[in-house]
Structure formats: C-alpha cells, structure tokens
Amino acid sequence: MKWLLGRFKYAWQGIRWGLLKDKSIRFQLLGGALAALAAYVLDCSLWEWLWILLCITLVIVAETLNSCIERCVDYISLERDPRAKVIKDMAAAAVMIVCTFALISAIVIMVPKLMN
C-alpha cells in the first residue's frame, strides 16, 4: 500500500511542477478552462461535455509529454543538434495535432449553439 501511495505522491509532484513551472501547460489549462466555461454557458449536453473534457485531457496530456520530451533532449545534450530539433519538432507536432482535433470538436459542438 505504501508503494501505491508513493506513486500518487510522485504523480501529484509532477502535476504541481507542471502547473508552477511550465508556461505551455498553464496556457493549455487556461484554454481548457475557457472551453469548459463556454460549454457551461452554452448549456452543453452530457455527451458534449464528455467530448469537451476528452479534448481538454488529451491536450494537457500531449503538452505534458511534449514538455517531458523537450526536457529529456535538453538534459542529454545542451549542444544544438539537427537530430534534437527533429525530436522536439515532432513532439510539438503531436500537440498541434491534438489541439487541431480539439478545435474541430469545439467548432462542431459550439458553433451550432452559437447560431441559435
């Protein structure tokens, strides 16, 4: 049981660090909060809320993984290397892909509500 509680402790430390030290994660959380506020104001259905929460979660997870990859690459070498750039660019691309999905989902869910 102590082992399991330790895993949660480490996870919360990671969340805390991301919130306090990573601007990109905070930016994505702000976007997620605004999306949730819009969903509330537009009186989204349960299924719409689930899609919105899924998108928010995916974006935050992608951004967290992107930050981890960037830090790992920086830890391994501080020198500029074209291979490191490709790794970082691909991690950033993953975030962009998830954000694009989230934006399309928001448009599909919220634009019809705004039109009414």
pLDDT digits (tens, 9 = 90+) for 50-91: 999 999 999 999 999 999 999 999 999 888 999 999 999 999
User: According to the model, what pLDDT value does residue 78 have?
Assistant: 82
Q: Which residues contact 93 (CB under 8 A, 6 or more apart)?
A: none
Query: Average pLDDT in the 23-32 region?
Result: 96
pTM: predicted TM-score of the whole model, two decimal places: 0.90
Per-residue confidence (pLDDT) for residue 79, from 0 to 100 = 86
Domain for residue 11, yes or no? no
Q: What percent of the residues of the chain are helix, what percent strand, and what percent coil, each to the nearest 5?
A: 90, 0, 10
Owner of token pair 């928010």: 56
At 65 the three-state DSSP class reads helix
- In a domain, residue 107? The reply is yes
Q: What percent of the chain has pLDDT over 90?
A: 88
Please report whether residue 28 resides in a domain.
yes
- On whether residue 9 sits in a domain, the answer given is no
> Which residues span the domain enclosing 80?
23-115
82 occurs within a structural domain:
yes
Number of domains in the chain: 1
